[in-house]
């Protein structure tokens, strides 16, 4: 049998250890980085972009068809005196282009870019922790992977609009090559 004071000593050590643990300062709150996303649907797929990347979302009233452009160009739209090329983003992110009733557009303007993304439906705004956006791997999305920031809960494909709209396939330059003229003239 242990002497009475031995139990008291053990209990005192336990209580002191607990008190020391409780007296420890709480860890500083780790700030959670949040992102506000505009969620939209194109065909059956749901996409999102960071709200700060877009200028405006509008309802489309009229689309002017453009001849001799790649099929992902849907035409031109005008809003507040500015003409925007209207683009179906699906082929740019490795998805098949499927006809759709593009009723809305998300507008982008900058010093070097004026563009609109064709959208079937604007769904909502969501705020997510950046940590909930899972990065994709090359096998997941194929050719358009660089424009895909990641996948969010609810099968939401989060796009990087700057990368998407910087895609070289959007540039249409049908000017003849100067070397082609020189070759034809010398022939």
Structurally, the chain folds into a number of domains equal to 1
> Within a domain: residue 186?
no
Say if 26 falls within a structural domain. Answer: no
Say if residues 140 and 62 touch (Cβ distance below 8 Å). Answer: no
- Mean per-residue pLDDT for 33-58? 94
**Separation of alpha carbons 162 and 175, rounded Å:** 26
10, part of any domain? no
* Mean predicted lDDT score pLDDT of the chain: 83
Q: Print the domain residue range for 83.
A: 34-170
Question: Model pTM?
Answer: 0.72
Contact between 53 and 161 (Cβ < 8 Å)? yes
Q: How far apart are CA 143 and CA 66, in angstroms?
A: 25
Residue 114 placed within a domain: yes
Predicted confidence (pLDDT) per residue in 128-172, tens digit = 999 999 987 654 444 456 889 999 999 899 999 888 888 888 888
pLDDT tier for residue 11 given thresholds of 50, 70 and 90: confident
The Cα 35–Cα 51 span in angstroms is 8
């Amino acid at each position: 049998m242990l002497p009475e004071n031995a139990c008291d000593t053990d209990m005192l050590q336990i209580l002191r250890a607990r008190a020391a643990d409780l007296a420890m300062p709480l860890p500083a709150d780790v700030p959670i980085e949040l992102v506000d996303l505009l969620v939209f649907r194109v065909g059956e797929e749901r996409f999102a972009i960071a709200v700060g990347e877009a200028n405006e979302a509008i309802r489309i009233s009229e689309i002017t068809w453009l001849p001799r452009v790649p099929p992902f160009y849907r035409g031109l739209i005008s809003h507040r005196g500015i003409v925007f090329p209207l683009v179906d983003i699906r082929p740019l992110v490795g998805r098949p282009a499927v006809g759709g009733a593009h009723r809305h557009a998300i507008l982008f303007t900058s010093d070097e870019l004026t563009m609109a993304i064709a959208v079937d439906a604007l769904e909502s705004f969501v705020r997510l922790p950046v940590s909930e956006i899972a990065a994709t791997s090359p096998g997941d999305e194929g050719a358009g992977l660089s424009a895909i920031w990641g996948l969010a809960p609810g099968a939401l494909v989060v796009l990087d609009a700057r990368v998407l709209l910087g895609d070289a396939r959007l540039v249409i330059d049908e000017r003849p090559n100067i070397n082609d003229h020189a070759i034809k003239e010398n022939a």
